[in-house]
């Protein structure tokens, strides 16, 4: 369980575990990218719901609400970002940068929700919203440039 919560170990990075965790989600995205959009979305929804339980359990075991090493939420947020994104490494890098930006900056209401929602939902919600914000930016860029 902790291995999954820690993104197969990527969250154990001594510096910037969220960034390393997001980078570790790229191979998973490449595996999922060929799925049709509906199945991709359903899988991400399942991963999100599972993540609420997983992150809550891992945080509870470690005695810390949102341990920096828990990066399952980053995996889900990045996968949300990349749903329906055009193919290519340029889009993957753009999605990575946008997701990390929104996850770090936490614009309204992300920061507010992150501070006030306890447990697994609290751990997951900021990354889900950061993923949605980054998704919107990717889709806008794809509309303009593709």
For tokens 């990045």, name the residue.
78
In a domain, 11, yes or no: no
Range from 30-34, 83-87, 112-116 carrying the lowest mean pLDDT: 112-116
The residue ranking higher by pLDDT, 119 or 38, is: 38
How many CB atoms are closer than 10 A to CB 9?
14
Per-residue confidence at 15, pLDDT binned at 50, 70, 90? very high
- Please indicate, yes or no, if residue 8 is contained in any of the structural domains: no
The domain total for the chain is 1
From start to end of the chain, where are the E strands?
none
Residue 10 lies in a domain: no
Task: Kindly tell me if the per-residue pLDDT of 114 is higher than 90.
Answer: no
Distance CA 69, CA 9 (A): 8
Give the domain range for residue 32: 17-145
pLDDT of residue 65: 78
5 belongs to a structural domain: no
Reported as a single tens digit per residue, the pLDDT across 31-70 is 999 999 999 999 999 999 999 999 999 999 988 877 889 9
Reduced 3-state DSSP string for 23-57: HHHHHHHHHHCCCCHHHHHHHHHHHHHHHHHHHHH
| pTM listed for this prediction | 0.96
Question: Mean of the per-residue pLDDT values for the chain?
Answer: 95
- Does 9 reside within a domain? no
């Amino acid at each position: 369980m902790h291995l999954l919560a820690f993104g197969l170990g990527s969250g154990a990075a001594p510096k910037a575990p969220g960034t390393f965790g997001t980078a570790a989600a790229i191979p998973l995205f490449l595996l999922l990218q060929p799925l049709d959009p509906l199945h991709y979305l359903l899988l991400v929804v399942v991963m999100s719901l599972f993540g609420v339980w997983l992150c809550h359990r891992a945080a509870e075991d470690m005695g810390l609400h949102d341990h920096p090493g828990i990066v399952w939420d980053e995996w889900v947020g990045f996968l949300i970002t990349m749903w329906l994104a055009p193919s290519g490494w340029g889009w993957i890098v753009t999605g990575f940068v946008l997701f990390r930006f929104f996850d770090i900056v936490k614009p309204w209401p992300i920061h507010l929700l992150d501070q006030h929602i306890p447990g697994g939902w609290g751990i997951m919600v900021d990354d889900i919203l950061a993923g949605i914000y980054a998704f919107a930016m990717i889709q806008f860029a794809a509309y303009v440039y593709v």
